[in-house]
Amino acid sequence: MDWRLRRAGPADAAALSLVAGATFLEAFAGILDGTDIVAHVTRNSSAAAFGAYLFDDAIATLAEADAGAAPIGYTLLTRPDLPVAMEPGDIELKRIYALFPTHGSGLGPALMARAIDDARARGHHRLLLGVYGRNRRAQRFYEKQGFTVAGTRRFRVGATWHDDLIYARAI
C-alpha cells in the first residue's frame, strides 16, 4: 500500500479518531479485555478528544493511503504527562500507530522520523513515550529507533491497570 504523510489539524479530528480506534483494537484485541478497549477508545480517542489535543498545541501527523486518502496511521505529540524527571525541552510522543496492512512498508519509521522532525522544529531536545510493558513488538521498534527505558508507570485501560515502560531518546 502506498501512503503519504501530512500535518493534521482540527478538521482531521474524526479521521484521527477513526484510525486511533482501529489501530488500538488491532494492537490489543486478544491481549486486553474487550470492554476495557472499548471504554478506553471511547474516552481517549474520540473526535472531541483529538480536537482538544489539537486546540492545546499538540502536533499530529496523519498517514493516508495514496488511493482514496483513507487514514491508515498517525502520531500525536503533546506536553509530557509521564512520571519521570522532566528535562527542559521534553515532549511526549503520546501516540504512534499504523494499521497492520502497512507494517513492513516503512510507514512506522517514517511516522517516527516526522515526529522527531516536528519536535526538533519546536525546539524540543528529548522525546518521551509510554508503551505497554508486555508489548515486545513495539518495544523492539522503539529500541531500533534509539529509545532506551527511562522509567515505568501504571496505565489504566478501561477499568484495568497495566504496567508500562517509559522510553526516552535525545533528539
Instruction: Tell me what pLDDT residue 105 has.
Output: 95
Smallest CA-to-CA distance from 5 within 108, 77, 91, 125 is with 108
* Confidence band, pLDDT 50/70/90 cuts, at residue 1: confident
Instruction: Tell me what pLDDT residue 27 has.
Output: 94
pLDDT digits (tens, 9 = 90+) for 60-110: 999 999 999 999 999 999 999 999 999 999 999 999 999 999 999 999 999
CA 149, 142, 88, 94 torsion-angle sign: negative
- For residue 100, the 8-state DSSP code is G
| Cell numbers at 48, concatenated | 472531541
What the chain holds in terms of domains, given with CATH numbers, is 3-170 (3.40.630.30)
**C-alpha to C-alpha distance for 77 and 127, rounded to whole angstroms:** 9
Residue 14 has pLDDT above 90, yes or no: yes
Residue 56 has pLDDT above 90, yes or no: no
Mean pLDDT computed over 130-147: 96
CB 148 within 8 A of CB 168: yes
Mean pLDDT computed over 159-168: 97
